[in-house]
A = this chain, B = another copy of it.
Amino acid sequence: MVQFTNLDATEAYKKLLALAPHGKSFNFKQELQAERVKAYQVPMAGGLTYSYAAKAVDESILKVLQELADEQELVAKYKLLLDGEVMNTGEKRKVLHHLVRGQLGQKVLHEGKDLGAFYAQELQRFCAFAEKVHQGHYRGTKGTAFDTVVQIGIGGSDLGPRALYLALENWADRQGKRNMKAAFISNVDPDDGSQVLSGLNLESTLFVLVSKSGITQETLANELFVKAKLRAAGLDPAKHMVAVTSETSPLAHNSEYLDSFYIDDFIGGRYSSTSAVGGVILSLAFGPETFKAILSGAHEADTTALERDIRKNPALLDALIGVWERNMLDYPSTAILPYSQALSRFPAHLQQLDMESNGKRVNRFGEVLNYATGPVVFGEPGTNGQHSFYQLLHQGTDIVPLQFIGFAESQRKDDVEVDGSTSQNKLKANLIAQIVAFAKGKDDQNKNKEFPGGRPSSLIYGKTLTPEALGALLAHFENKVMFQGFIWNLNSFDQEGVQLGKVLTKQVLAKNSGDSALEAYAALLSI
């Protein structure tokens, strides 16, 4: 019987506290040598590798982290999740985003329905739909073939799919896999939808409306905004819009949409990129085979995450090192630094994934915790960040653990050689230089030019950013966040923190809040 225990009630926690350096910097100047770089790496799915040579851990710490993994039964808890246990305890839901990528546990039944078969069927349906669109079977009101797809969704229905789309545009263009261009409308700010639509030919545009519940305020407002524009252009909205929703939502089985594709309550928003939520738009943009390659990379990562040995399970190891940094080194934030412009919005997706999953102060039983949980997550692509916030990362008063991502080759293979090196080689050289600079630092008599070092980072690297590598990268972080939630004894799959704002928003709009501050603020903004 698996036990759910607070981190600070474990034996390993006490051992880790005893190992904590209490402000003393890890001696990277001495420790970070070629042998360590070669030894401290783990193969990942999708042809990627996780390198943790520049993380502030040694053999004694890694040993206790393995003990923590075993004591908290992290892999066993993951298996419970795969087998369809109700792991989202607050909302009493299963957690099944892994199942959309393939079957790793038992067959999962809900009210007699085989959910693995259901997800596979929906995958098959939206892939077939995408092919029919590409073949011109479906066309706009006036008979024009669709060349553009616009997703209407917010949060998990926007950040993940958008990050994946941007990550593969260059790959798809280079590989001849581009079928349609894509755009996204998310914000309830009317300038968002208005601006996106102003640049499009509506006649050749297909919209994907994504809301699991079917009642998301922003998404429904944007749906009606788009439909009004379609009608004003003499077009029939029912011929220009598909829905992605749950079968119990008000949007389901509705003739106002050209077709509908279904998920269910067991696919959380921030974990939904590999379901129909990401699958419809990505299959339309880059073809079903490309989307299936993302699923394949993710499924491989999910399989690797079953390994008990932390030295063979990069998601588990990454999770444990993150907890070491958060709870023993007291670092409150972490930065995601992809050296790949294609991953420009991947940090924004991981920000949601991590902060919405583990930004919790109560455990899965609703008891208030006495230790820090999820960190602040932020990031921008390198080398851009080097000319921006890296100053603080190198020489600020606080230490921020770093997560670098990089690739040997570019996606477009379109480069220039300047001063004896290509831009891709400059990109990689900068990445490597930063890892070593952060870890080792540099002494200087002039303290303003001194780099204290001791600033830990990991590196995920691969040959090139393909759909398989992207799927593996996505699933790596999903599984890392899941393992951290297990370590902290959280429910990583609900988001009660969004509810109060919704209630107060309705009060403001109804102008009868009874809260004088709400009314005073509303007066400031002339509502």
Contact = CB atoms under 8 A, between A and B. Distances in A.
Interface string A126-161: 000000000000000000000000000011101100
Contacts of A387: 154-156, 158, 218, 269, 352, 498
B187 A381 contact: yes
Range, interface on chain A:
35 or more
B359 A221 contact: no
Given A190-B423, A436-B518, 9 more contacts: A191-B410, A352-B389, A369-B397, A376-B400, A390-B497, A426-B509, A428-B508, A429-B522, A433-B518
Given A170-B194, A381-B187, A426-B217, A516 B333 contact: no
Given A391-B356, A408-B525, A416-B221, A520 B428 contact: no
A499 interface: yes
Contacts of A175: none
Where chain A touches its partner, the secondary structure class is helix
A446 B367 CA distance: 9
A228 interface: yes
Interface in A342-372: 342, 348, 351-352, 355-362, 366-369, 371-372
B410 A497 contact: no
Contact of A427 (B188, B225, B502): B188
Given A225-B423, A377-B389, A426-B221, A524 B269 contact: no
A451 interface: yes
A283 interface: no
A423 B194 CA distance: 11
B37 A429 contact: no
Given A389-B377, A425-B509, A517 B37 contact: yes
Nearest to A516: B34
Interface in A245-287: 269-270
| Ranked 6 nearest A-B pairs via Cβ | A359-B392, A155-B387, A433-B504, A37-B520, A352-B388, A359-B396
Interface in A426-475: 426-437, 439-442, 446-452, 459, 461
Residue with the highest number of chain B CB atoms closer than 10 Å, among A187, A357, A516: A187
Contacts of A461: 524-525
Nearest to A173: B198
A191 B400 contact: no
B217 A191 contact: no
Contacts of A359: 389, 391-396
A3 interface: no
A380 B351 CA distance: 10
B49 A388 contact: no
A251 B435 CA distance: 31
Contact of A437 (B173, B374, B504): B504
Given A376-B400, A433-B518, A498-B390, A416 B383 contact: no
A58 interface: no
A411 B188 contact: no
A373 B397 contact: yes
A384 B158 contact: yes
A362 B451 contact: no
A99 to B, nearest CB: 24
Interface string A9-45: 0000000000000000000000011101110010000
A435 B194 CA distance: 27
Contact of A388 (B32, B355, B381, B430): B355
A361 B195 CA distance: 43
A51 B517 CA distance: 12
A505 B421 CA distance: 12
B388 A339 contact: no
B414 A361 contact: no
Contacts of A4: none
A187 to B, nearest CB: 5
A424 interface: yes
A426 B188 contact: yes
Given A426-B218, A497-B392, A416 B521 contact: no
Residue with the highest number of chain B CB atoms closer than 10 Å, among A169, A187, A395, A432: A432
Given A154-B384, A387-B154, A228 B368 contact: no
A340 B190 CA distance: 9
A189 B339 contact: yes
A478 interface: no
B348 A426 contact: no
A295 to B, nearest CB: 24
A448 B527 contact: no
A417 to B, nearest CB: 9
Given A433-B504, A517-B33, A356 B269 contact: no
Residue with the highest number of chain B CB atoms closer than 10 Å, among A156, A270, A496: A496
Contacts of A220: 418
A173 B426 CA distance: 38
